[in-house]
Amino acid sequence: MTDLLGDLTRTHHCCQLRDTDIDKEVVLMGWVQHRRDHGGVIFIDLRDKEGITQIVFNPEHSKTVHEKAQEIRNEYVLGVKGKVIARPGDMLNPNMKTGAVEVMIDELYIFSKAKTPAFQIEDRVETSEVLRLQYRYLDLRRPQLKNNILARHKATMAIRNYLNNKGFVDIETPFLTKSTPEGARDYLVPSRVNQGEFYALPQSPQLFKQLLMISGFDKYYQIVKCFRDEDLRADRQPEFTQIDMELSFVDEQQIMDVAEGMIVAVFKKVLNIDLVTPFPRITYDEAMSRFGLDRPDLRFGLELCEVSDIVKDAGFKVFANVVKNGGLVKAVNAKGCATFTRKQIDELTDFTAVYKAKGLAWIKIKEDSWQSPIAKFFTDEEKEALRKRLDLEPGDIVFFVADQPKITNEALGQLRNELARRLELISEDTYKFTWVTRFPLLDYDETENRYQALHHPFTAPLEEDIKKLDSDPLSIKSRAYDLVLNGIEIGGGSIRIHDTELQAKVLNCLGIDETEANEKFGFLLKALSSGAPPHGGIAFGLDRLMMLLCREDSIRNVIAFPKTQKATCLLTDAPSKASTAQLRELAIKVTKIDE
């Protein structure tokens, strides 16, 4: 077969040669990382996926090859044949795996030339993210990004092996599917064959995996793209990858066991870390009480403490009134931080204001007095009670937020995280997991004036709470659970409703009447009435998990071809205009006025 490579077969990767290979004839292929001319000799660092080897073009060894090598520039792609030789003693590089040897080249093929790259292919090079995304193929040559992508492969392979061994079946669910009301906005796909109608890209395979349980597949998993047309944040992408699973005839315990085992396998494979299981678990109520957030970061203390009962009659009317109106007064004691300056305190006040706290009260505990704008409002008894409850000691500073429960918890919970960052309480290589369980089934949407599902409408309520569906829906706890790592939710799931009547009742409670229910997911209700096993599952965000494993700040750094926060691809320039002919076939028209 005709072929440029016909005569040349790669014998080694660029990470492999050692002094034990000296005198071997080898063929290497790769990119020019760096070229140096020294005393008429050309030295090139040749790079491939695995590493770097120094190759040498010496005119005394081969004049023709050396001449040809003159034209080589950075990022050229070469194939070379030569003999492994020892480096001279003063050229040994102990920082390089292949630093004991070099290859004296006899044959050179320049497979491809390269223009000067838009930025240097090195981790330490600083360049704008815009440029990096435009030239993503160059950026992916940098070791950091390359290693993230390789780690992602390792992780998914570890997940697949683990789940396969546990009897899970990988089953593909459809991408062109039906718009379902799962909270976020759907991406729509106009149908040509059925003009005027639209598919929706899945936000998750939720309903299909439940159908698979009803079919009897027992244990399902899939590593699958999902889509949400939401405004994007640093850790959101319009398309994201979910590790999705569902099991029949199980309860929460069995699902958590299998999920923990999977996480253990991933950490072992990617980081060679042995995690200890079972992971701790706390209820949603406890998480809110102690940490103010449903995704507590357990790498440090600084727990929140409610003091509503102590301050409910205090002379400080702000606190007293909040308690009177059903609010919460909570505090966090930053031990030993009484040295915070006014400026620091102002910054923290601004910080909590982002979370809608109307103010941040504080008290510095001195040896013999409390220094604070509000200290004077408390009686000695109240002070003593606060001292005991909050373990106040000289040198501490304690912060208070008083507001409606949601705001108090969110603001003080975020303040707790911010304090930990500022006080450097977080050790970077610690991985603290916790399960959060028993979430509320519903919350109340003030703008739409109706209940909505906190997880999704298919989540089972706690057995003993079902009776409260009519009387007190907001007090119902669900059988949902999240897995939280270092304060970030990496997965969540629930035991599902497997009873048609209960499902109809919950939908009804969400303001979805029978007609709407049948239209939107009549097929699920029908399926539930065809013999549904008790079942439940969980889904993990692979992008976020990889971000944490790779210690990156953005999920864009663990995705080969990510989109910007404006949902565009700077590399391919997607999205882009469609042709009139395309739109005509789809029977749609763009209604945008401009251009």
Q: Which is nearer to a copy of itself, 227 or 458 (CB)?
A: 227
- The least CB distance from residue 459 to a copy of itself, in Å, is 14
* Interaction of residue 279 with a copy of itself, rule CB under 8 A: no
- The least CB distance from residue 292 to a copy of itself, in Å, is 24
Dihedral angle sign, alpha carbons of residues 315, 321, 322, 324: positive
* Interaction of residue 191 with a copy of itself, rule CB under 8 A: yes
Centroid of chain to Cα 356: 26
User: Phi first, then psi: what are they for 439, rounded to 5°?
Assistant: -65, 160
- The least CB distance from residue 305 to a copy of itself, in Å, is 28
* Interaction of residue 16 with a copy of itself, rule CB under 8 A: no
Q: What is the DSSP letter of 290?
A: H
Stretch that binds a copy of itself, among 47-55, 346-354, 419-427, 547-555 (CB under 8 A): 47-55
For 123, the token pair is 């981790």
- The least CB distance from residue 423 to a copy of itself, in Å, is 36
Is position 424 annotated in a ligand binding site?
no
Footprint on residues 380-419 left by a copy of itself (CB under 8 A): none
Is position 543 annotated in a ligand binding site?
yes
What gap in Å lies between CA 341 and CA 331, rounded to an integer? 19
Q: According to CB under 8 A, which one of 113, 317, 324, 356 is a site residue for a copy of itself?
A: 113
What gap in Å lies between CA 169 and CA 557, rounded to an integer? 30
For 442, the token pair is 């519903």
Centroid of chain to Cα 171: 24
For 497, the token pair is 């409703």
User: Which of these, 321, 501, 334, lies nearest to 422 by C-alpha position?
Assistant: 334
* Interaction of residue 33 with a copy of itself, rule CB under 8 A: no
* Interaction of residue 48 with a copy of itself, rule CB under 8 A: yes
Q: Which is nearer to a copy of itself, 97 or 383 (CB)?
A: 97
Q: Which is nearer to a copy of itself, 285 or 499 (CB)?
A: 499
What gap in Å lies between CA 186 and CA 514, rounded to an integer? 23
What gap in Å lies between CA 198 and CA 191, rounded to an integer? 5
Is position 585 annotated in a ligand binding site?
no
- The least CB distance from residue 470 to a copy of itself, in Å, is 19
Pairing of strands 101-112, 51-57: parallel
Footprint on residues 414-473 left by a copy of itself (CB under 8 A): 437, 462-464
Q: Which is nearer to a copy of itself, 208 or 399 (CB)?
A: 208
Is position 75 annotated in a ligand binding site?
no
Stretch that binds a copy of itself, among 221-229, 336-344, 376-384, 450-458 (CB under 8 A): 221-229
Stretch that binds a copy of itself, among 16-24, 194-202, 266-274, 422-430 (CB under 8 A): 194-202
* Interaction of residue 22 with a copy of itself, rule CB under 8 A: no
For 468, the token pair is 């409260």
Q: Which is nearer to a copy of itself, 185 or 366 (CB)?
A: 185
Q: Which is nearer to a copy of itself, 397 or 558 (CB)?
A: 558
* Interaction of residue 178 with a copy of itself, rule CB under 8 A: yes
* Interaction of residue 47 with a copy of itself, rule CB under 8 A: yes
Footprint on residues 93-112 left by a copy of itself (CB under 8 A): 111-112
Check if the beta carbon of residue 359 is closer than 8 Å to that of residue 332: no
What gap in Å lies between CA 173 and CA 205, rounded to an integer? 7
Q: Is the bond leading into 278 cis (omega within 30 degrees of zero)? A: yes
Footprint on residues 538-567 left by a copy of itself (CB under 8 A): 559-561, 563, 566-567
Footprint on residues 50-79 left by a copy of itself (CB under 8 A): 75-77, 79
Q: Which is nearer to a copy of itself, 172 or 424 (CB)?
A: 172
Three-class SS string for 459-522? ECECHHHHHHHCCCHHHCEECEEEEEECCEEEEEEEEECCCHHHHHHHHHHCCCCHHHHHHHHH
Stretch that binds a copy of itself, among 144-152, 263-271, 404-412, 422-430 (CB under 8 A): 144-152
| Conformation bin of residue 134: beta by default, left when phi > 0, alpha when psi is -120 to 50 | alpha
Burial class (CB in 10 A: 0-12, 13-18, 19+), 253: exposed
Q: Is the bond leading into 575 cis (omega within 30 degrees of zero)? A: yes
What gap in Å lies between CA 504 and CA 556, rounded to an integer? 40
* Interaction of residue 225 with a copy of itself, rule CB under 8 A: yes
Footprint on residues 565-594 left by a copy of itself (CB under 8 A): 566-569, 571-578, 582, 584-592
- Give the number of residues in contact with a copy of itself, rule: CB under 8 A: 134
Stretch that binds a copy of itself, among 122-130, 195-203, 326-334, 508-516 (CB under 8 A): 195-203
Q: Which is nearer to a copy of itself, 416 or 477 (CB)?
A: 477
User: Phi first, then psi: what are they for 103, rounded to 5°?
Assistant: -120, 120
What gap in Å lies between CA 189 and CA 197, rounded to an integer? 9
Q: According to CB under 8 A, which one of 185, 366, 467, 551 is a site residue for a copy of itself?
A: 185
Those residues whose C-beta lies under 8 Å from the C-beta of residue 349, and which sit 6 or more positions away, are 359, 360
Those residues whose C-beta lies under 8 Å from the C-beta of residue 537, and which sit 6 or more positions away, are 209, 220, 244, 245, 246, 247, 255, 493, 494, 496
| Residues pairing with 42 in the sheet | 37, 57
Binding site per annotation, positions for ATP: 228-230, 237, 489, 541-544
**Residues annotated within a binding site for L-aspartate:** 182, 228, 455, 496
